[in-house]
Amino acid sequence: KAGVTQTPRYLIKTRGQQVTLSCSPISGHRSVSWYQQTPGQGLQFLFEYFSETQRNKGNFPGRFSGRQFSNSRSEMNVSTLELGDSALYLCASSAGTGLGKETQYFGPGTRLLVL
Amino acid sequence: AQKITQTQPGMFVQEKEAVTLDCTYDTSDPSYGLFWYKQPSSGEMIFLIYQGSYDQQNATEGRYSLNFQKARKSANLVISASQLGDSAMYFCAMRPDSGGYQKVTFGTGTKLQVIP
């Protein structure tokens, strides 16, 4: 079974631009969660999508948005990029039951650098 | 709200020795799952092991085992016979069962370095 894929793997943008990151979950998984990881703030939860609906949301400004398609693929968008948005963005895929025993499987991440 | 505490920012271990990475958690939910992930320098988070709050036995997966002490709210990861490839960041995480679809909470991680 193929794992979680994320594209692109690396991205360089300038302040003020916008960026779209893509995540394809493991086949059969219906939940996709996004995380931002920085050296200073650690791993922070952005949002979770299940069946094309946002099910959970972290404490990020409205510049961060996401969506999920009918095939469970998900995209996240960051508008008006700031230097502080430079981070590793991780996508995690899970079955979608929301139960405590449900394991999340992560993709390789997208490294975003904002200049 | 859930909270995960990993008090060891960094640790060293000699190759072939065992090492314990600490994790304590705080939750009011009676049912939850606990997870450990490994993150090498490449960045990908790799799932290692899972422990359910109602599991009677400590979880084991190859060289990884989880020392689960429910009353103390601790879920320490034990890596036996450390290898150079074990050098990485390790994250403890938890997801409660109750209250609907709750998010996973992660700790701040422990950086493990295996010395030859």
Are the beta carbons of B37 and B84 closer than 8 angstroms? no
Closest CA to A74 of A26, A111, A27, A24: A24
**What's the confidence (pLDDT) of residue A51?**
92
pLDDT value at residue B2: 86
pLDDT digits (tens, 9 = 90+) for B27-62: 988 899 999 999 999 999 999 999 999 998 999 999
Q: Provide, as residue numbers in chain B, all residues whose Cβ is less than 8 Å from the Cβ of A109.
A: 43-44
pLDDT range class, residue A27, cuts 50, 70, 90: very high
The minimal CB distance from B95 to the residues A58, A100, A109 is found for A100
Set of chain B residues whose Cβ sits within 8 Å of the Cβ of A108: 42-44
Q: pLDDT (tens digit, 9 = 90+) per residue, A45-102?
A: 999 999 999 998 999 999 999 999 999 999 999 999 999 999 999 999 998 887 778 8
Note the pLDDT of residue B99.
Answer: 65
Tokens standing for A109?
């991440």
> What does the alpha-carbon distance between residue A112 and residue A33 come to, in Å, rounded to a whole number?
18
- Put simply, the answer to whether A99 touches B97 (Cβ < 8 Å) is yes
**Which of the four pLDDT bands, split at 50, 70 and 90, describes residue A40?**
confident
Question: Per DSSP, which regions of B1-116 are E strands?
Answer: 3-5, 10-14, 19-21, 24-26, 32-39, 46-52, 60-61, 64-69, 74-79, 88-96, 105-106, 110-115
Give the tokens for residue A1: 């079974």
- Which pLDDT tens digit goes with each residue over B61-99? 999 999 999 999 999 999 999 999 999 999 999 998 876
Contacts of B49 in chain A (CB under 8 A): none
Asked if B50's CB is within 8 angstroms of A101's CB, the reply is yes
Q: Report pLDDT for A54.
A: 94
Q: Are B101 and A50 an interchain contact pair (Cβ–Cβ within 8 Å)?
A: yes
Nearest to B109 by CA among B42, B17, B20, B37: B37
SS3 A83: helix
How many contacts (CB atoms, under 8 Å) link A and B?
Answer: 66
Please provide the DSSP assignment of B3-34 as one string.
EEE---SEEEEETT--EEE--EEE-S-SSEEE
The span from the CA of B6 to the CA of A98, in Å, is: 24
Q: What values do phi and psi take at A21, rounded to 5?
A: -110, 145
Angstrom distance (rounded) from CA A4 to CA A91: 8
Nearest to A108 among B32, B44, B91 (CB): B44
Partners of A12 in the β-ladder: A113
